[in-house]
Amino acid sequence: MTMKKVLSFFILILLPMVAGAETVEIDGIYYDLVSNTKQAEVTSNPNKYTGNVVIPASVTYDGVEYSVTGIGNVAFRDCSGLTSVKIPNSVTSIGSWAFWGCSGLTSVTLGNGVTSIGYAAYRGCFRSDSETSPRRAEKRGRHHSSWK
């Protein structure tokens, strides 16, 4: 990996901290919460996500409701025990390397709101025949990276 890619990777990881985001766990899913915009982004789980994950359209933390609008860079990276993910219509973007290395992933249900899918978001995932797989999203022009 080139120095430029490594630096870019760390900038993308640290950006939520600089933007004033607070990372919290709600019902088994980790989020970066941005209080001034009331938006939440799914982030990585230190214990790795497994099984079927259903991302809600909104979450409430300390009495404040946040709209879930994104899946962060590397949010599900290397979660080999992850089998499916359902993404709500409120999510508009999926970050780079978001599902990289999720070898057990067989289905991703994309909400209608997804308009941006980052670089290599599904690299290293097994192919799915599901109607709602990232492969289908690619055909709709929403994905420019690899679904193995």
Q: Give one word for 29, left, alpha or beta, with left for phi > 0 and alpha for psi -120 to 50.
A: beta
Which residues have a Cβ under 8 Å from the Cβ of 115 and sit 6 or more positions away? 92, 93, 142
Domain ranges of the chain: 3-138
pLDDT at 122: 82
What is the fold, at CATH topology level, of the domain defined by 3-138? 3.80.10
What's the pTM? 0.76
Encode the chain (148 residues) as per-residue pLDDT tens digits: 566 655 555 555 555 444 568 999 999 999 999 999 999 999 999 999 999 999 999 999 999 999 999 999 999 999 999 999 999 999 999 999 999 999 898 888 989 999 998 888 888 776 554 535 444 444 333 444 444 4
Nearest to 39, CA basis, from 12, 68, 15? 68
Q: Are 92 and 69 in contact (CB under 8 A)?
A: yes
Nearest to 53, CA basis, from 123, 90, 105, 93? 105
Radius of gyration of the chain (CA): 14
Distance in angstroms (rounded) separating the CA atoms of residues 148 and 145: 10
